[in-house]
């Protein structure tokens, strides 16, 4: 009974753990630096830090709490009943029964770009949204559509919205601190000499510099984390349906379909990018850095919320091999590598 | 799923619960006494096929295994294999209406073949069909991942007889583990074996 074909991907787990650890480390270093600076100068900038924390934390909690409503209204999507979209609901019903998870609400967005996203603060309040382009225009067959939906349901199961919100909190606070420090420097410049007991660089400037570094580093780490979580969702989705190649062909079709769509749609979709099935911003970014060659490509990869198509297909091919292993011999030991 | 698994994004495919299926024959007696529904003798197992030869080999092995007894007394008809429009495979086993034990044994053979080969998470549901004198159709659907049953009573044209389903739910509350979360009572329109 204990044997399984579905051993977790150790490499991915390790990389994700390291990324999260680094994010945590940056967070601790950031707090320590701010406390250090403030105690050194007898808390002159405490107000700024406090305000940034309250604003940053508040906006993160609010965006998490209302994530489903925000995402639905940003995408112009509408929640549909089983009567309105029986096929779509039937696929989701079956996937949820296979995965033993609560069924999210199902929504359709009137967008020509073929894509899908899932969001929500917890499993009871999550919503799974597909675009009309994915349903009607992208010539995906039922199994490919199922693969896309399984990928999105895996995001819900992995609580990716919650994880990414917590991960982004640091960057939000650091970003706000930069802004606040900049404005207080701009408008309150006259007072600072009295606060500054070192006589050297003003405190706000130091906080600003620290925040800029923290913002940049955490921004990169969040993007790394986001890419790993996409790979994890691909993996779980493919294992759930047992059809990695259906997901692979859906990915290929959706990526191709995206390049046919005009720019207006892409720009409108930008705020939702991190939760999408395939990155909606790919075209604009590719167009901007067209002459970059190899170096430009790897740079855009660094800032991307999604792994490259090649990487995702490569992983799915590996899963396909694992699922095809003959039964003889120890299964659970075999797929670990 | 544990906190760490969530944090690291490694959902484990859910293993099926098999044992509760055997409560079915005694529940059928209760069902007949309380609402007049009798088993038709047919039932089916629904699972999500996995791509590749390994899985299709197992699939045909199971079919051969079930067909070994076909035609003999108590053996029932040869199993039927159908693929529905969502890509799921249904193995339909047909027996006489008083051979519910043999039917459940057949269904269980499919379960254990998949589980033994490491494909347990692919099992979706099992259904056993019932009829009453007025020819109303009813299926008891077993959800593998939950280990629970729910009634499904289709009417013509993708409508469900919800009143009948609730009535059956209450009638069987003592005999079967009934799925309490009504959102999980998903319809299986045109399911083979009904």
Record: contact A16-B15, CB cut-off 8 A: no
pLDDT for residue B94 is more than 80: yes
By Cβ distance, the residue of B54, B116, B124 closest to A97 is B124
Q: Which architecture characterizes domain B13-184 according to CATH?
A: 2-Layer Sandwich (3.30)
> Edge to edge, what strands does the sheet with A116-119 contain?
A78-79, A105-109, A127-131, A116-119
Distance from CA of A90 to the nearest CA of B (A): 8
Q: Is the pLDDT of residue B105 over 60?
A: yes
> What is the count of structural domains for chain A?
1
Read off the pLDDT of each residue in B5-20 and give the average, rounded to a whole number. 82
Give the position of tokens 């410049």.
Answer: A189
Which chain A residues contact residue B49 at CB under 8 A?
Answer: 242
> What are the structural domain ranges in chain B?
13-184
Q: What's residue B143's pLDDT? A: 94
Q: Which residue among A12, A86, A242 places its CB closest to the CB of B48?
A: A242
Q: How far apart are CA A10 and CA A163, in angstroms?
A: 20
Contact assignment for A98 to B124 by CB distance below 8 Å: yes
Which of A1, A2, A3, A5 has the highest number of chain B CBs within 10 A, making it the mutation to test binding with B? Answer: A5
In a domain, residue A90? The reply is yes
Q: Do A243 and B51 touch (CB under 8 A)?
A: yes
Using CA atoms of A90, A93, A98, A104 in order, give the dihedral in degrees to the nearest 10. Answer: 140
pLDDT at A185: 67
Q: How does the average pLDDT of chain B come out, rounded?
A: 88
Interface test with A, best of B5, B9, B84 (most A CBs within 10 A): B9
Given the residues A152, A185, A230, A264, the one annotated as active site? A152
Q: Using one digit for the tens of pLDDT, what is the confidence trace for B120-171?
A: 899 999 999 999 999 899 999 999 999 999 999 999 888 899 999 999 999 9
| ipTM entry | 0.89
For the range A1-5, what are the long-range contacts, defined as Cβ-Cβ under 8 Å and sequence gap of 24 or more?
A1/B15, A1/B115, A2/A332, A3/A330, A3/A331, A3/A332, A3/B118, A4/A331, A4/A332, A4/B12, A4/B13, A4/B15, A4/B118, A5/A322, A5/A323, A5/A325, A5/A331, A5/A335, A5/B118, A5/B119
For A244, nearest residue in chain B (alpha carbons): B51
**Residue range B2-9: mean pLDDT, rounded:** 78
Chain B partners within 8 Å of A234 (Cβ) = none
Q: What pLDDT score does A337 carry? A: 35
Length of chain A: 337
- Alpha-carbon distance of A269 to A34, in angstroms, equals 36
pLDDT 10s digits, A224-254: 999 999 999 999 999 999 999 999 999 988 8
To which H or E segment does residue A129 belong?
A: strand A127-131
- Residue A334 placed within a domain: no
Cα A213 from Cα A217, distance rounded (Å):
6
C-alpha B12 chain-centroid distance: 23
Count how many pairs of residues, chain A against chain B, have C-beta atoms within 8 Å. Answer: 129
What are the mean pLDDT values of chain A's consecutive 10-residue runs (337 residues total)? 60 89 89 81 70 84 86 90 92 93 93 88 88 84 93 91 85 82 65 48 78 88 90 92 92 74 48 60 34 47 81 91 69 38
Report pLDDT for A93. Answer: 94
Q: Give all strands (DSSP E) within chain A, no chain letters.
A: 78-79, 105-109, 116-119, 127-131
A145 located within any domain = yes
Q: Is A272 within the bounds of a domain?
A: yes
Find, in chain A, the residue whose alpha carbon is nearest to that of B49. A242
Q: A152 an active-site residue?
A: yes
User: Residue A18 is part of which domain span?
Assistant: 8-322
Interface with chain B: mutation pick from A242, A316, A328, A334, highest number of B CBs within 10 Å: A242
Residue A265 to residue A68: CA distance in whole angstroms: 20
């Amino acid at each position: 009974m204990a044997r399984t074909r579905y051993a977790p991907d150790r490499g991915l787990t390790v990389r994700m753990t390291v990324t999260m650890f680094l994010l945590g480390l940056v967070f601790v270093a950031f707090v320590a630096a701010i406390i250090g600076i403030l105690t050194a100068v007898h808390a002159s900038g405490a107000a700024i830090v406090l305000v940034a924390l309250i604003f940053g934390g508040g906006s993160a909690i609010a965006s998490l709490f209302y994530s489903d409503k925000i995402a639905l209204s940003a995408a112009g999507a509408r929640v549909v009943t089983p009567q309105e979209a029986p096929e779509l609901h039937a696929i989701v019903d079956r996937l949820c029964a296979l995965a033993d998870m609560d069924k999210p609400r199902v929504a359709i967005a009137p967008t020509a770009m073929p894509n899908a996203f899932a969001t929500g603060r917890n499993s009871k309040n999550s919503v799974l949204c597909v675009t009309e382009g994915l349903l009607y225009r992208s010539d995906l067959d039922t199994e490919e559509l199922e693969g896309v939906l399984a990928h999105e349901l895996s995001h819900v199961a992995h609580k990716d919205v919650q994880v990414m919100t917590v991960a982004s909190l640091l960057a939000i606070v650091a970003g706000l601190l930069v802004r606040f420090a900049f404005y207080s420097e701009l408008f309150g410049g006259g007072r600072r000499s009295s606060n500054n007991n070192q006589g050297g660089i003003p405190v706000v400037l130091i906080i600003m510099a620290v925040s800029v570094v923290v913002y940049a580093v955490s921004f990169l780490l969040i993007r790394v984390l986001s890419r790993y979580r996409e790979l994890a969702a691909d993996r779980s989705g493919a294992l759930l349906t047992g059809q990695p190649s259906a997901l692979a062909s859906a990915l290929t079709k959706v990526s191709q379909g995206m390049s046919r769509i005009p720019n207006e749609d892409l720009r409108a979709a930008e705020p939702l990018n991190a939760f999408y099935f395939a990155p909606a911003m790919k075209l604009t970014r590719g167009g901007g850095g067209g002459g970059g060659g190899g170096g430009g490509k790897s740079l855009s990869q660094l800032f991307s919320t999604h792994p490259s198509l090649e990487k995702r297909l490569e992983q799915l091919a590996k899963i396909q091999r694992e699922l095809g292993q003959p039964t003889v011999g120890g299964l659970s030991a075999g797929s670990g590598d | 799923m544990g906190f760490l698994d969530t944090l690291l994004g490694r959902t484990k495919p859910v293993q099926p619960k098999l044992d509760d299926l055997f409560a079915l024959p005694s529940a059928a007696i209760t069902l007949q006494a309380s609402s007049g529904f009798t088993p038709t003798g047919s039932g089916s197992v629904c699972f999500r096929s996995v791509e590749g030869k390994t899985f299709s080999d197992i699939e045909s092995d199971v079919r051969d295994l079930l067909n070994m007894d076909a035609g003999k007394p108590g053996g029932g008809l040869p199993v039927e294999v159908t693929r529905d429009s969502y890509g799921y495979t249904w193995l339909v086993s047909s027996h006489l209406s008083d051979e519910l034990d043999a039917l459940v044994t057949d269904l269980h053979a499919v379960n254990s073949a998949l589980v033994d080969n490491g494909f347990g998470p692919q099992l979706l549901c099992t259904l056993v069909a019932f009829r009453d004198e007025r020819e109303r159709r009813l299926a008891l659907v077993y959800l593998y991942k939950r280990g629970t049953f729910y009634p499904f009573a289709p009417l013509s044209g993708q409508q469900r007889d919800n009143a009948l389903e609730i009535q059956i739910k209450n009638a069987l509350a003592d005999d079967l583990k009934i799925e309490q979360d009504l959102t999980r009572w998903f319809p299986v329109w045109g399911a083979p074996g009904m």
